[in-house]
Every structure is written in C-alpha cells, then in structure tokens.
Amino acid sequence: MAADDPPAKPIGPSIREVPEGDTHERLVCADCGYIAYDNPKVVVGAVCGWDDRILLCRRAIEPRRGYWTIPAGYFEQGETTAQGAAREVEEEAGARIDIEALLAVYSIPRLGQVQVIYAARLIAPDIEPGIETIEARLAAWDDIPWDDLAFPSVRWALHHYREYQSGAPFAARSNPPGELGNL
C-alpha cells in the first residue's frame, strides 16, 4: 500500500448503531448488515460432595490465581449445562460426578456472565488437580478457606449447597438480594 492510498475499508461489523427492530447498540457490517451480538457467556459448574466434605479447587489461572473455587468454567457448544458441569469437574479435579439437582443460576452483569451451578455427588473420592488447578481437596464445612474464595458466587453456591443438603424444601437459587456479583 502506497502512502497516498486511501485507508483500507474495515471488513465485517464495524459500525456501532441500534439495528432496526432492536433496542441495544450493536456492531453492524455496513456492507452486508450482519449484526455482531455480544451476549453474556454461560459458566457451568458444580458443588460436589463426598460424605460431609466439599470439593474445592485452587486456581492455577487468572483471574484470582491461587484462590479457591468450585469446579466451573465456560459452557461449550454441543453440550447440556449438566454435561458441561461434569466436564469441568473432570478437567479441574480429575473426578466424575452424579448431578443431583440444579442448585442455582447466578447473574453477574459486570462480567457478562450467567452461572449455572449444580449440586452433585462425587462417584469416588479420588481427585487430582487438572491443568487449571494448583490443588484439589475435599474440605469439611469448617475447613473451607472462606477468606480465600475466588469469587462471591463461590460463597453463594457453598451456602446454597448447605441449604440444599439440609433436606428442607429446596428450589434452585439465584443471587442473594442486592447482590450482583460486582465485587
């Protein structure tokens, strides 16, 4: 390209506008009208129990490397949310699970996430850290490292799991009142 050539025309969605029939500003291709939707990502995971202990994973990746979490990660094409949760447990802790119930659906608008979390039982107590995990362990309730949990939604899920385990009537939960995960 010579110095006096006009700048190359952007290819694909490059104009920010509210498309006809829509209510949100989107990136739109000026040539073909293609609309690039930027919608929330779905995270799937599980609170996994074995006897009176809960599976926790210490993160080997950012964000929050070194902090504790439940096995969870991005939902993949071609799987159900339950399959995705089971895959995440296997990837992060080398464990297999039986899904028992939908535990919660959390909305984290600051991150553009919807988190679908299941209650599950480990098929066996054999766990092994995966590539995204520094350490995996089974922790009794009083041994959970509450001050070192990676995200507010991990705390919510652990408390919701405890409610679920109590045997009291239970329905899937959502964010606690006033909590949008914006910490």
Say whether pLDDT at 103 is over 70.
yes
Which residues have C-beta within 8 Å of that of residue 32, sequence separation ≥ 6? none
Architecture of domain 41-165: Alpha-Beta Complex (3.90)
Check: CATH 2.20.70 for 10-38?
A: yes
Count of CA atoms in the C-beta half-sphere (13 A) of 97: 30
Q: Give residue limits of the domains in the chain.
A: 10-38, 41-165
- Cα distance between residue 122 and residue 130, in whole Å: 16
Could you tell me which residues are beta bridge partners of residue 104?
Answer: 117, 173
Model confidence, pTM: 0.85
48, two tokens: 């996994």
Say whether pLDDT at 183 is over 60.
no
Average pLDDT of the chain, as a whole number: 92
The per-residue pLDDT for range 38-78, each reduced to its tens digit, is: 889 999 999 999 999 999 999 999 999 999 999 999 999 99
